[in-house]
Amino acid sequence: MRLNYPAALALAASAHIATAQSPGLSATERTIVRAVDAHNAASLALLERIVNINSGTNNFAGVRNVGDVLRAQFDSLGFSTRWVDGAPFKRAGHLVAEHAGTGPKILLIGHLDTVFEPNSPFQKYEKLNDSTARGPGVIDMKGGDVIILAALRALKDANALAPMNVTVVMNGDEEDAGTPVSLARKTLIDAAQGAAVAMGFEDGAGDPASAVVSRRGATSWKLTTGGKAGHASQIFHDDMGAGAVFEASRILNEFYTKLSAEPLLAFSPGLVLGGSAISIDSSGDDGTASGKHNVISKEVVVTGDMRTISPEQLARVSQAMRDIVAKHLPLTTATITFDDGYPPMAPSDGNRRLLALYDRASRDVGSGPVAGVDPSRAGAADVSFIASIVPMKIDGIGLSGHDDHSDKETADLRMLPSQTKRAALLLHRLTNGEGATPRP
Domain-by-domain residue ranges, the chain? 5-215+345-431, 217-342
Sort 327 into a burial class: Cβ within 10 Å, 0-12 / 13-18 / 19+: exposed
Phi and psi at residue 302, to the nearest 5°: -125, 130
Q: Is the pLDDT of residue 6 over 70?
A: no
Distance CA 204, CA 220 (A): 22
Confidence of residue 433 (pLDDT cuts 50, 70, 90): confident
Q: Using alpha carbons only, give the angle 165, 366, 167 rounded to the nearest 5 degrees.
A: 15
Residues 6+ apart with CB under 8 A from 416: 40, 43, 44, 47, 143, 146, 147, 150, 399
60-76 helix and 40-51 helix, angle to the nearest 10 degrees: 160
| Average pLDDT of the segment spanning 38-56 | 98
**Distances 162 to 34, 152, 157 between C-alpha atoms, Å:** 19, 11, 11
- Answer yes or no: are the C-beta atoms of 220 and 304 closer than 8 Å: yes
CA torsion, points 91, 92, 97, 98, in degrees to nearest 10? 40
- Answer yes or no: are the C-beta atoms of 329 and 242 closer than 8 Å: yes
Closest CA to 131 of 419, 417, 415, 413: 413
In three-state secondary structure terms, 220 is: strand
Amino acid 23: pLDDT: 62
Q: Is the pLDDT of residue 24 over 80?
A: no
Mean pLDDT computed over every residue of the chain: 92
Closest CA to 60 of 35, 26, 94: 94
Task: Dump pLDDT digits (tens) for 109-135.
Answer: 999 999 999 999 999 999 999 999 999
| Average pLDDT of the segment spanning 423-430 | 98
Closest CA to 153 of 164, 141, 169, 142: 164
**Distances 340 to 142, 180, 262 between C-alpha atoms, Å:** 27, 11, 19
Instruction: Give this prediction's pTM.
Output: 0.86
Q: Is the pLDDT of residue 196 over 90?
A: yes
In the chain, the percentage of residues whose pLDDT exceeds 70 is 93
- Answer yes or no: are the C-beta atoms of 341 and 178 closer than 8 Å: no
Residues 6+ apart with CB under 8 A from 315: none
Amino acid 137: pLDDT: 98
- Answer yes or no: are the C-beta atoms of 135 and 409 closer than 8 Å: yes
Most confident region among 154-168, 200-214, 329-343 by mean pLDDT: 154-168
Task: Dump pLDDT digits (tens) for 71-83.
Answer: 999 999 999 999 9
Task: Dump pLDDT digits (tens) for 140-154.
Answer: 999 999 999 999 999
The identity of residue 236, as a single letter, is F
Domain 217-342 coded CATH 3.30.70.360: yes
Amino acid 423: pLDDT: 98
Task: Dump pLDDT digits (tens) for 163-173.
Answer: 999 999 999 99
Amino acid 8: pLDDT: 45
Amino acid 284: pLDDT: 77
In three-state secondary structure terms, 107 is: strand
Distance CA 423, CA 428 (A): 9
**Distances 225 to 141, 271, 275 between C-alpha atoms, Å:** 40, 14, 11
**Distances 285 to 121, 271, 292, 303 between C-alpha atoms, Å:** 23, 7, 23, 8
Confidence of residue 375 (pLDDT cuts 50, 70, 90): confident
Q: Quick one: CA dihedral 145, 147, 153, 159, positive or negative?
A: negative
The CATH number of the domain covering residues in 5-215+345-431? 3.40.630.10
Task: Dump pLDDT digits (tens) for 249-272.
Answer: 999 999 999 999 999 999 999 999
Distance CA 204, CA 146 (A): 15
Task: Dump pLDDT digits (tens) for 341-361.
Answer: 889 999 999 999 999 999 999
Half-sphere exposure for 56 (CA within 13 Å, toward CB): 13
Q: Is the pLDDT of residue 5 over 90?
A: no
CB atoms within 10 A of CB 349: 9
Distance CA 315, CA 390 (A): 21
